[in-house]
Amino acid sequence: MNITIINAKPNRPTFEQLADRPRLDALRSISLGGMKLQATAFDGAGGELTELEYGWFETDIRQSVGKATWSDAKRASDRFARKFAEQLNIIQ
């Protein structure tokens, strides 16, 4: 498998963002998070089995209150993994 994160957005500022922008508040600053991923699965001979590109980003800021830094990205990753497994017929 080859999996690539195309875009990832946190719900709360990361440590790097807090260091770069001191006006951000680690507890009160919230945003719409999520992630977009792309994956390709290969068979034992290196042939391509399937490919999937999937992204999910929260659209309602009210759903971001109280979440951890990467909560929406984790949700997107979980949804991506399920869709990819279904596409590979690993789960039904």
Domain boundaries, the chain: 2-87
Tens of pLDDT, residue by residue over 47-74, are 999 999 999 999 999 888 778 999 999 9
Q: What DSSP assignment string belongs to 36-87?
A: EEEEEEE-TTS-EEEEEEEEEE---GGGTTT--TTHHHHHHHHHHHHHHHHH
pLDDT at 91: 60
Give the pLDDT band of residue 25 (cuts 50, 70, 90).
very high
pLDDT at 65: 74
